[in-house]
Amino acid sequence: MKKPYRIVGISTILLVIVIVIFGSAMYDPREGVYIADVCAHNDGIVHDSVGFYNDFIILGNSSKDAVSLKGYWLSDDNRNLKKFELPDKTLMPGDNILIWANEKTVFGDGFTDDDGIYTGFRLRDNEKVYLSEADGTVADSKAVQPQKAKTPLSGEEIARRFPFEPDLSETGHGVYTVFIVADPDDLFSAERGIYVNGSIWDKYGKEALEKEADGSGLPANFNMRGSGWKRDARLILYDPDGNLLYDEAGRIGIRGLNSRALPQKSFSLLPETEGGRVFDGLFENAGSSLMLRTGSTDDAFVTNFRDALNMKIARDLDVCPEESVCCELFINGQYWGCYNLQERPDESLLSARYGVDKSRINVIKINGEPEASSGKESDLHQYKLLDDYVRKHDLSDDRFYEQFCEKVDIDNLIDYYCAEIFFANADAYYSNVGLWRVRTPGLLPYEDGKWRFFLYDTDDTDAFSERSYADADSFVEGSWIGINAMDDLFFSSLAKNASFREKFRNRFTQLLDSDFSPQRTLPVIDEMEKIYTEPMVRSVRKYDDPSFTEDDYKANVEAVREFFQNRSDHIRRYMMEHIGD
């Protein structure tokens, strides 16, 4: 006789969800504790009390007696069966318990799921989960089933699921127009809404206010990460003349750090299925996903184009600059503001740009602490080896400098630091640092296993504040955190080497006379001012200042123009002061 699971230790809502998903399974015929099911793709099935959709394992008790879990172990490795010791909990006959297959979740300023049980390891396709006893006897095992490929929706299916006819009077205004069509509950409901404070805030909001948590540490729906907080949507794009370019199914998520707390939030635009691409062909050699990005907490209501401008200026530098276009966004027909439709800096963009297999790319992003986007400890370990090498070796010695150049593409590194220093990025070195490499070397040019930097998130630049004015000595000042170029581990270590200093001076001088020169940069600013003025006035009036005018916007742009007019002379002098011989 088939019986539904009875789950203990989780909420009633979770109980209902798990019964619906797993309720058709039968009790295992063996007596005692067994693995009822495993889930390695918890894409919206159920989240823990903090709000994270972790992998999970369900254990059951098929005996007629109460059974203690004490003395049982869980593992995903038959060579190490004792990865996680189960707690001393009692399962009554017919009861089941959910175990999260991940690290214990901690969000922001210490908001944790104190009631959940966490194994510390994650699940992967085609591996096995083992339940063993204290003496090493395997009591049960279960294979992790791969996620079935999703069949892409046809045009008719998209229209049926998300019926919507764009108002064409909102298009053809000189900028691109994006329409997102989605289930309102997926955006704005307390339980599922990704754009709102929601049920996560209802639970932890009072505590967050007491702790004075900042934007990135606010326990709220909009701050949740992971595939479980992505939502299906219809994505429509018109060109500046009002011609329909794309109408396709996709997925959306909220993106950013502190900017997630802003009333105008940024979005990730993701393909509906693995291997697909959003607005394929809009940008040459683009990755699979894109961003609808504002100027973050820094520039969203000032120019909203500093990052996009820097990327255009750095387009010929070897730092993987992201392409973008200015657009206006409408959600379910409602005007949402001015955005940058921009490439997303991730493995798929690097793969498309440099012709390297995406699955072989190791991406490290540093925001205070380095993290591997793959989640693999081995990927993070490889970066730590590089960090450790620089800390333990004096790079003023040419022997060690040459060994460093075997590990890192030195031309790429110089381009990266030239850009960050020239743009006077006050939010660099300690944060918004991206590196990548292929794990295993190959024959293609970018398969040499060397580390390379990529430029991203450069909003706090170009005279945004007194820290980033044209006369800022960005070698030694300007950073919000207090870590500047000459404090940065890599740059400060390399700056001790005469060969590096000469190479850096030559390249920076070349860029100051070409790509970074006023003759090159000022026309780009003029063009962006023409494009952004009207949509930005409309956007700022909606979100920040109802009295905002075109003259106000032009004054904001003028500060950027003055920066690029004067920057080369100042930074050339500082370069000789700090890097000259």
* pLDDT tens profile 519-528: 999 999 999 9
Dist. CA 379–CA 372, nearest whole Å: 6
CA-based nearest residue to 58, from 104, 120, 15, 114: 15
Nearest to 498 by CA among 413, 408, 395, 573: 395
Average pLDDT of the residues in 541-547: 96
Contact 322, 434 (CB under 8 A): no
With vertex at residue 309, the alpha carbon angle to CA 308 and CA 314, rounded to the nearest 5 degrees, is 100
Distance of CA 539 to the CA centre of its chain: 25
SS3 383: helix
Mean pLDDT of 384-389: 98
Closest CA to 314 of 345, 293, 338: 345
Instruction: Please tell me the predicted confidence (pLDDT) of residue 104.
Output: 86
Mean pLDDT throughout 409-416?
A: 98
Q: How many beta carbons lie within 10 A of that of residue 129, not counting itself?
A: 24
Query: For residue range 302-339, what is the model confidence (pLDDT) as tens digits?
Result: 999 999 999 999 999 999 999 999 999 999 999 999 99
pLDDT tens for each residue of 206-227: 999 988 888 888 899 999 998 9
| Rg of the chain (C-alpha set) | 26
- Give start-end residues of each CATH 2.60.40 domain in the chain: 6-143
Joined tokens for residue 391: 């800390």
Query: Is 25's pLDDT higher than 60?
Result: no
What pLDDT does residue 16 have?
39
What was the pLDDT predicted at 70?
93
Give the pair of three-digit tokens for residue 386.
């590089």
Kindly report, residue by residue over 250-289, the tens digit of the pLDDT.
999 999 988 999 999 999 999 999 899 999 999 999 999 9
**Distance separating alpha carbons of residues 82 and 73, to the nearest angstrom:** 6
CATH 2.60.40 correct for 6-143: yes
Contact yes or no for 484/567 (Cβ under 8 A) = no
- Would the pLDDT of 124 be above 50? yes
In angstroms, rounded to a whole number, what is the distance separating the alpha carbons of residues 342 and 419? Answer: 19
DSSP designation for 133: E
Per residue in 338-364, pLDDT (tens digit) is 999 999 999 999 999 999 999 999 999
Cα–Cα distances in angstroms (integers) from residue 295 to residues 113, 304, 357, 449, in the given order: 33, 5, 31, 33
Please give the average per-residue pLDDT across 562-573, as a whole number.
97
Residue among 76, 60, 75 at smallest CA distance from 18: 60
| Per-residue pLDDT, 30 | 53
**Distance between CA 224 and CA 428 in Å, rounded?**
24
pLDDT band, residue 162 (cuts 50/70/90): very high
The pLDDT tens digits for 164-208 are: 999 999 999 999 999 999 999 999 999 999 999 999 999 999 999
The per-residue pLDDT for range 438-468, each reduced to its tens digit, is 999 899 999 999 999 999 999 999 999 989 9
Nearest CA-CA partner of 512 in 574, 572, 578 = 572
HSE of 159, CA atoms in CB hemisphere, 13 A: 6
Q: pLDDT of 84-95, one tens digit each? A: 999 999 999 999
pLDDT bracket for residue 108 (50, 70, 90): confident
Place of tokens 């581990």: 489
Strands 128-133 and 138-143, by their bridges, are: antiparallel
Mean pLDDT of 133-156: 89
Q: Is 147 helix (H, G, I), strand (E, B) or coil?
A: coil
Which residue shows structure tokens 């989605």? Answer: 182
Average pLDDT, the chain: 92
- The answer to whether residue 19 scores a pLDDT higher than 60 is no
Instruction: Look at residue 34 and tell me whether its pLDDT is greater than 90.
Output: yes
Give the model confidence (pLDDT) of 62-83 as tens digits.
999 999 999 999 999 999 999 9
| 300-339 exposure pattern, b = at least 16 Cβ within 10 A, e = fewer | bbbbbbbbbbbbbbbeebbbbbbbbbbbbbbbbeeebbbb
* pLDDT score of 13: 42
* pLDDT over 50 (residue 7): no
| Helix (H) / strand (E) containing 402 | helix 398-407
Largest CA distance in the chain: 84
At residue 570, the pLDDT reads: 97
Tokens 């683009």 sit at which residue? 286
Give the pLDDT confidence score for residue 5 in this predicted structure: 41
Phi, psi (deg, nearest 5) at residue 132: -130, 160
Question: Does 544 score more than 60 pLDDT?
Answer: yes
Give the Cα separation of 397 and 414 in Å (integer): 19
How many other CB atoms are there within 10 angstroms of residue 90's CB atom? Answer: 13
CA distance 70 to 510: 68
With bands split at pLDDT 50, 70 and 90, how would you rate the model's confidence at 23?
very low
Q: What secondary structure letter does DSSP report for 295?
A: -
Whole-number Å distance between alpha carbons of 486 and 373: 27
pLDDT of residue 115: 86
235 pLDDT exceeds 80?
Answer: yes
